[in-house]
Amino acid sequence: MTAFVEAAAKPWTYWISPVLVIGAVLAVLAITAGYLVKVVSAKYPRQ
């Protein structure tokens, strides 16, 4: 029974890991872009 559960769990980790990595990278990019828009653009306003 344990071998069956482990065999069923492996495909889950294979496809979910790229989804999590892409989501984490996009989250870091979104936080960086939000920081630049809100903080840096307020420091140097357009004239």
16's tokens: 């979910």
- The CA distance from 32 to 15, in Å, is 27
Q: H helices of the chain, where?
A: 2-35, 41-43
CA 42/CA 26 separation, integer angstroms: 24
For the stretch 1-47, pLDDT in tens is 666 666 666 666 678 888 999 999 999 999 999 999 999 888 887 77
| pLDDT at residue 7, as a whole number | 66
Predicted pLDDT of residue 3: 67
Model pTM score:
0.64
| Per-domain boundaries in the chain | 1-47
HSE (side-chain half, CA atoms, 13 Å) at 33? 6
Instruction: Classify the C-alpha dihedral 40-41-45-46 as positive or negative.
Output: positive
